[in-house]
Amino acid sequence: MRFNHMELTVPRGMLDEQGGRAEITEFYREIFGWGAIDIPLFEQNNLLLHTDDEVSQFILIAESDTPLTSPGFDHLGMLLDTRAEVDAILEKCERYQRKDDRVSIQRYDDLDQGAVVVHAFYVKFLLPIWFDVQCMEWREGSEPARKWSFG
């Protein structure tokens, strides 16, 4: 099993041209390489951020009178293969943050769990959740028996 999608709600007006639609699209395209398309659903125009051309994994962003609020560190985890990939995305986030202070970054020390070391940071921009960008470095002999792969 794997996740197919997540829906997030934002305040009304946030997805119009003056409200941030273009900024959301630009940030997530530049940082994660995601595509963005408009999707008419629920009698409104929504924004769909997708990870691949098949649109098999996506985040649907919809406006609502009662949008999601997340004052804590609620997040969606993004698993990468290597420390270098995590660090490269962190560097992109830091560059983007220098031109737009609405980018929030939370850095973490490596989390050593014995069998695995998690190398991660959180990033948040205009959406009501954080994205946990991480890799898991398994110690020799501790690798999981099964790994998920995208074929």
- What percent of the chain clears pLDDT 70, i.e. is strictly above it? 97
Residue-range domain boundaries for the chain:
5-64, 75-138
Digit-coded pLDDT (tens) for 83-126: 999 999 999 999 999 999 999 999 999 999 999 999 999 999 99
Assign domain 5-64 to its CATH architecture.
2-Layer Sandwich (3.30)
Mean pLDDT of the chain: 93
Digit-coded pLDDT (tens) for 1-34: 678 999 999 999 999 888 899 999 999 999 999 9
CA–CA gap between residue 103 and residue 124 (Å, rounded): 6
- pTM for the complete prediction? 0.92
Residue 151 pLDDT level (bands cut at 50, 70, 90): low
